[in-house]
Amino acid sequence: MPETEFSATGVRIERWARSLTRAGQVIVKDGRLALLTSNGREIDSAPVVTVSAGRPWFAGAGAAVARLNGTRYRLTMGQRNRGPDRAGPARRFLETLRSAGGRMT
């Protein structure tokens, strides 16, 4: 079975009230989810099977919420896209997590 992979750059990563980076990176590779700053420093990472994620009702297009190691992060992807598929990267992120065994909330 091929390894599930996802990568998005230019992601705004927030720990709810605090913005950690406006141009971060989200990577799903080898069964792990990693959140990185714009210069590649790791913010947090966890095995995909321990991650829970979903789309909050209050968030706009392209946003997702992920819980890693007990910490909730808001991920805003595709903020540069203004077309009809702005939610594309967030949707693909959630689909990748679901197919890799992550929990959806």
| pLDDT value at residue 1 | 43
| pLDDT value at residue 49 | 93
Rg (CA), the chain: 12
In this structure, whether the domain defined by 6-104 belongs to CATH 3.40.50.720 is answered with no
The structure tokens listed for 63 are: 């946003």
The structure tokens listed for 57 are: 């009702």
8 Å CB contact between 90 and 83? no
Nearest of 92, 51, 94 to residue 70 by alpha carbon: 51
pLDDT digits (tens, 9 = 90+) for 42-92: 999 999 999 999 988 776 778 899 999 999 999 998 755 554 455 588 889
Other beta carbons less than 10 A from residue 92's beta carbon: 15
| pLDDT value at residue 41 | 96
8 Å CB contact between 78 and 86? yes
Q: Report the alpha-carbon distance of residue 84 to residue 72 in Å, rounded.
A: 28
